[in-house]
Amino acid sequence: MIPLLGLIIGILIGVFIPYSIPEQYSSYVAVAILAALDSVFGGVVSTMQKKFDMGIFLSGFICNALLAAALTYIGDKLGIQIYFAAIFAFGNRLFLNFAVIRRFLLNKYSKKDNIKDNMLDNNEA
Protein backbone atom coordinates (compact mmCIF):
# COMPACT_ATOMS: atom_id res chain seq x y z
CA MET A 1 0.00 0.00 0.00
CA ILE A 2 3.00 2.28 -0.55
CA PRO A 3 1.29 4.12 -3.46
CA LEU A 4 -1.81 4.81 -1.37
CA LEU A 5 0.32 6.09 1.50
CA GLY A 6 2.21 8.35 -0.91
CA LEU A 7 -1.09 9.70 -2.26
CA ILE A 8 -2.33 10.50 1.25
CA ILE A 9 0.95 12.20 2.19
CA GLY A 10 0.87 14.20 -1.05
CA ILE A 11 -2.68 15.37 -0.41
CA LEU A 12 -1.80 16.43 3.14
CA ILE A 13 1.25 18.35 1.92
CA GLY A 14 -0.88 20.05 -0.74
CA VAL A 15 -3.51 21.06 1.78
CA PHE A 16 -1.16 22.41 4.44
CA ILE A 17 1.46 24.06 2.21
CA PRO A 18 -0.42 26.55 0.05
CA TYR A 19 1.08 27.06 -3.39
CA SER A 20 -0.63 28.46 -6.43
CA ILE A 21 0.27 27.33 -9.91
CA PRO A 22 0.50 30.09 -12.51
CA GLU A 23 -2.44 29.98 -14.90
CA GLN A 24 -0.31 29.36 -17.99
CA TYR A 25 0.94 26.08 -16.44
CA SER A 26 -2.38 24.86 -15.08
CA SER A 27 -3.17 22.55 -18.01
CA TYR A 28 0.31 20.97 -17.79
CA VAL A 29 -0.03 20.34 -14.08
CA ALA A 30 -3.60 19.04 -14.37
CA VAL A 31 -2.69 16.45 -17.01
CA ALA A 32 0.47 15.46 -15.11
CA ILE A 33 -1.58 14.99 -11.91
CA LEU A 34 -4.06 12.80 -13.81
CA ALA A 35 -1.20 10.68 -15.13
CA ALA A 36 0.35 10.42 -11.66
CA LEU A 37 -3.00 9.39 -10.14
CA ASP A 38 -3.29 6.69 -12.79
CA SER A 39 0.09 5.37 -11.67
CA VAL A 40 -0.94 5.46 -8.01
CA PHE A 41 -4.14 3.53 -8.66
CA GLY A 42 -2.20 1.08 -10.83
CA GLY A 43 0.25 0.64 -7.94
CA VAL A 44 -2.60 -0.09 -5.55
CA VAL A 45 -4.01 -2.70 -7.95
CA SER A 46 -0.63 -4.36 -8.39
CA THR A 47 -0.16 -4.39 -4.59
CA MET A 48 -3.50 -6.13 -4.15
CA GLN A 49 -2.50 -8.66 -6.81
CA LYS A 50 0.86 -9.12 -5.04
CA LYS A 51 2.75 -8.01 -8.18
CA PHE A 52 3.98 -4.59 -6.99
CA ASP A 53 7.44 -3.57 -8.20
CA MET A 54 8.82 -0.24 -6.95
CA GLY A 55 10.95 0.29 -10.07
CA ILE A 56 8.01 -0.17 -12.40
CA PHE A 57 5.84 2.06 -10.21
CA LEU A 58 8.35 4.90 -10.01
CA SER A 59 9.24 4.78 -13.70
CA GLY A 60 5.55 4.75 -14.64
CA PHE A 61 4.76 7.56 -12.21
CA ILE A 62 7.50 9.84 -13.54
CA CYS A 63 7.38 8.88 -17.23
CA ASN A 64 3.58 9.05 -17.48
CA ALA A 65 3.52 12.50 -15.86
CA LEU A 66 6.33 13.74 -18.13
CA LEU A 67 4.69 12.28 -21.25
CA ALA A 68 1.36 13.90 -20.40
CA ALA A 69 3.03 17.28 -19.79
CA ALA A 70 5.05 16.91 -23.01
CA LEU A 71 1.91 16.16 -25.04
CA THR A 72 0.31 19.25 -23.58
CA TYR A 73 3.37 21.37 -24.42
CA ILE A 74 3.62 20.05 -27.99
CA GLY A 75 -0.10 20.61 -28.49
CA ASP A 76 0.21 24.18 -27.26
CA LYS A 77 3.06 24.85 -29.69
CA LEU A 78 1.14 23.31 -32.61
CA GLY A 79 -2.12 24.99 -31.69
CA ILE A 80 -4.01 21.72 -31.21
CA GLN A 81 -5.22 20.12 -28.04
CA ILE A 82 -3.21 16.89 -28.07
CA TYR A 83 -3.49 16.65 -24.29
CA PHE A 84 -7.01 15.28 -24.76
CA ALA A 85 -5.35 12.01 -25.77
CA ALA A 86 -3.64 11.88 -22.36
CA ILE A 87 -6.85 12.83 -20.58
CA PHE A 88 -8.78 10.03 -22.27
CA ALA A 89 -6.05 7.41 -21.87
CA PHE A 90 -5.17 8.13 -18.25
CA GLY A 91 -8.76 8.87 -17.28
CA ASN A 92 -9.94 5.55 -18.71
CA ARG A 93 -7.17 3.62 -16.94
CA LEU A 94 -7.90 5.48 -13.71
CA PHE A 95 -11.53 4.37 -13.76
CA LEU A 96 -10.59 0.80 -14.75
CA ASN A 97 -8.10 0.55 -11.88
CA PHE A 98 -10.67 2.00 -9.48
CA ALA A 99 -13.17 -0.63 -10.63
CA VAL A 100 -10.63 -3.40 -9.97
CA ILE A 101 -9.96 -2.00 -6.47
CA ARG A 102 -13.68 -1.72 -5.75
CA ARG A 103 -14.36 -5.30 -6.88
CA PHE A 104 -11.42 -6.61 -4.89
CA LEU A 105 -12.66 -4.90 -1.72
CA LEU A 106 -16.25 -6.02 -2.28
CA ASN A 107 -15.13 -9.63 -2.74
CA LYS A 108 -12.78 -9.45 0.22
CA TYR A 109 -15.36 -8.15 2.66
CA SER A 110 -18.38 -10.07 1.38
CA LYS A 111 -16.48 -13.40 1.37
CA LYS A 112 -18.53 -14.34 -1.68
CA ASP A 113 -18.17 -13.97 -5.38
CA ASN A 114 -21.54 -12.27 -5.83
CA ILE A 115 -20.15 -10.00 -8.50
CA LYS A 116 -19.60 -12.84 -10.96
CA ASP A 117 -23.04 -14.26 -10.15
CA ASN A 118 -24.68 -10.88 -10.74
CA MET A 119 -22.80 -10.42 -14.00
CA LEU A 120 -23.94 -13.84 -15.20
CA ASP A 121 -27.56 -13.07 -14.24
CA ASN A 122 -27.44 -9.75 -16.13
CA ASN A 123 -25.96 -11.35 -19.24
CA GLU A 124 -28.64 -14.04 -19.34
CA ALA A 125 -31.48 -11.52 -19.34
For the chain, give every domain's residue range. 24-111
pLDDT tens digit string along 38-55?
988 999 899 888 998 999
pLDDT digits (tens, 9 = 90+) for 69-118: 888 889 889 988 888 888 898 899 999 999 999 998 898 888 765 555 55
**C-alpha of 65 from chain center:** 11
Three-state secondary structure readout of 54-120: HHHHHHHHHHHHHHHHHHHHHHHHHCCCCHHHHHHHHHHHHHHHHHHHHHHHHHHHHCCCHHHHHHH
Average pLDDT estimate for 14-34:
85
